[in-house]
Every structure is written in structure tokens, then in C-alpha cells.
């Protein structure tokens, strides 16, 4: 598998505190993978390693076949990221926010307007292009960030708890849109969450608990006859 995301033997400590312990998994292209973990499981640490905000002393990360340790620029160029905290400039328009990102990524100038239009079309945001980000609701701001993350045509899309703070309707809409991006556009998607209702039976599921992957497979098979929320609680609850 060269197109998706592959992680092997990834460990990370904060001083004496072990945050990730020999984490390994693979997500192929065209797959939506939910990374589910309770608070403190190590999700943010893993996201920081995948985006190279942190570097692990050992272990490997390959993004679309590019080795993050040996060729970080190439690996990062194949990765689109939506961070948990919004990083839009609220005083810029939607289009200006995307144009700024395009310049940061060094996209060829002549291509930028068409790429922005195409990315906004994919998320149904074209008609909002000239509005200031401040005027958008939470769901539309997230869609703008998603369009921006797609601008450089990444093969792997990483979303860190992207629905935090959204109302139910926006949450469900963006969850469905990202599932479509995996299915229709063949993107490899890693979606971190602690909300079990965002995960579908056909999705790949990774469960992170106390820094270890405790389940990796098709959600429907993992949960069996139990609702995923019950399964998850039973596997991750801390004894009283
Ligand atoms: N800077 C830090 N210094 C020390 N320990 C840390 C630091 N950051 C995280 N940790 C610890 O590492 C473990 C993993 O934390 P991490 O933030 O990656 O988990 P998480 O799954 O993202 O949790 P949450 O959903 O609450 O953000 C936790 O036990 C946390 O307390």
C-alpha cells in the first residue's frame, strides 16, 4: 500500500509519562478511518506526530508512500489537515483565507483561482467565497477549513476532532461530506473523535486507549451485536 497512511512502532513520552506505546496501523486510500479514544488516550500526541509538530525518537510514518522522517516535506505535501482549533483569519473572506494558504504551500499562482473554486465547489461553499469568515456559522467555517485542506490535492486527509463545538445538524453534514470524500475521491481519511455516532459500520475503526491501539478493523465486526457506544465504554472505562 503506497497511497494511504502507514504508521509503525510509534512511541512517544513526555518526560516519564508514556503517551504512545508502539502504535502501528495502516489506512488505505478510499477508506474512512475513525480514530476513537477517550480523553488522554494519546490522540493529540498522534496527530502532532503525523503533522510533524512533534518528532518521535523511534517508529515510522509514511504518507502516500513518503517517509516522514527521511522526506518530511514530501510527506507533508501529501497530507491535508483540519486542526481541532479553527485557524481561519476571521477578517479575511473565504477566498482570501484559501489564497493565503495556497501561497504558503507555494502553489503555482496561475492555478490558484481555479483550485480555490474547485475546492469550494467540492464542499458546496462557492457561493460564500466572498463573505468574511466571521459571517459564517461554525459548520460553514469548518467546511471552509476542509476546502482549504484539499487545496494542494493531498492523498491523505487528517481531521482532529473536527466536529467539536458544532450543532448536531452541522456535525452530521460534515461527517457525511468527509465520508463522501473517501468514497468518491479515493482519499485516505483519518478522523479522530470520541463520539461514537460519527462512526459507520463500514468504516475502519482504530481504538486508542492509554497510548495503545486496542482494536483495528471494520467497525461492524468489532462491535458485533453491541451498540458501538456500549462496546467503547466497556473497553475503555476506568475501574471505579
Ligand atoms: N505536554 C505534556 N506533558 C506531559 N504529559 C502530557 C503532555 N501532553 C499530553 N500529556 C499526557 O499524555 C497522554 C496523552 O495525551 P493526549 O493529549 O495525546 O491525549 P488525547 O487522547 O488527545 O486526549 P484529549 O482528548 O483529552 O485531548 C495523557 O496522559 C496526557 O496527560
Q: At 181, which CATH number?
A: 3.40.50.300
- From the CA of 211, give the closest atom in ligand 1: 14
Q: Do 159 and 147 share a domain, yes or no?
A: no
Residue 84 lies in a domain: no
Nine-digit cell at 215? 482494536
Residues 216 and 159: their CA atoms lie apart, in Å, by: 18
For 107, the domain range is 90-153
Domain count, the chain: 2
Q: How far is the CA of 42 from the centre of ligand 1 (A)?
A: 6
Count CB neighbours of 144 within 10 A: 26
In short, whether 43's Cβ falls inside 6 Å of ligand 1 is yes
Residues 158 and 229 in one domain: yes
Stated pTM of the model:
0.94
C-alpha cell at 10: 510509534
Question: Does a structural domain hold residue 62?
Answer: yes
Q: Phi/psi at 182 (nearest 5 deg)? A: -70, -50
For the chain, 240 residues long, give each residue's pLDDT as a single digit of tens.
Answer: 568 999 999 999 999 999 999 999 999 999 999 999 998 999 999 999 999 999 999 999 999 999 999 999 999 999 999 998 888 999 999 999 999 999 988 899 999 999 999 999 999 999 999 999 999 999 999 999 999 999 999 999 999 999 988 999 999 999 999 999 999 989 999 999 988 989 999 999 999 999 999 999 999 999 999 999 999 999 988 665
Q: Are residues 42 and 105 in the same domain?
A: no
End-of-domain residue from the set 120, 153, 186: 153
Ligand 1 centroid – CA 47 distance (Å): 11
Q: Is 69 in the same domain as 116? A: no
Answer whether 45 contacts ligand 1 (Cβ < 6 A).
Answer: yes
Per residue, the 3-state secondary structure of 148-164, as one string, reads: HHHCCCCCEEEEECCCC
CB count in 10 Å sphere of residue 59: 18
Residues 164 and 221 in one domain: yes
| Residue nearest atom 31 in ligand 1 by C-alpha distance | 40
Return d(Cα 207, Cα 43) in angstroms, integer.
10
Amino acid at each position: 500500500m503506497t497511497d494511504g497512511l502507514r504508521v509503525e512502532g510509534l512511541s512517544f513520552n513526555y518526560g516519564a509519562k508514556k503517551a504512545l506505546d508502539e502504535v502501528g496501523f495502516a489506512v488505505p486510500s478510499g477508506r474512512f478511518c475513525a480514530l476513537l479514544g477517550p480523553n488522554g488516550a494519546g490522540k493529540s500526541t498522534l496527530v502532532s506526530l503525523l503533522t510533524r509538530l512533534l518528532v518521535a525518537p523511534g517508529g515510522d510514518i509514511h504518507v502516500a508512500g513518503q517517509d516522514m522522517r527521511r522526506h518530511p516535506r514530501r510527506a507533508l505535501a501529501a497530507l491535508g489537515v483540519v486542526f481541532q482549533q479553527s485557524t481561519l483569519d476571521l477578517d479575511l473572506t473565504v477566498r482570501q483565507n484559501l489564497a493565503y494558504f495556497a501561497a504558503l504551500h507555494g502553489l503555482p499562482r496561475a492555478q490558484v483561482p481555479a483550485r480555490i473554486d474547485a475546492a469550494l465547489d467540492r464542499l458546496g461553499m462557492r457561493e460564500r467565497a466572498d463573505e468574511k469568515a466571521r459571517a459564517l456559522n461554525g459548520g460553514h467555517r469548518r467546511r471552509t477549513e476542509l476546502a482549504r485542506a484539499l487545496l494542494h490535492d493531498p492523498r491523505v486527509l487528517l481531521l482532529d476532532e473536527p466536529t467539536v463545538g458544532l450543532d448536531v445538524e452541522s456535525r452530521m453534514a460534515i461527517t457525511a461530506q468527509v465520508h463522501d470524500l473517501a468514497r468518491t475521491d479515493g482519499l485516505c481519511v483519518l478522523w479522530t473523535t470520541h463520539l461514537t455516532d460519527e462512526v459507520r459500520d463500514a468504516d475502519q475503526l482504530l481504538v486508542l486507549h492509554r497510548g495503545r491501539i486496542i482494536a483495528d478493523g471494520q467497525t461492524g465486526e468489532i462491535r458485533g451485536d453491541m451498540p458501538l457506544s456500549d462496546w467503547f465504554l466497556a473497553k475503555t472505562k476506568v475501574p471505579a
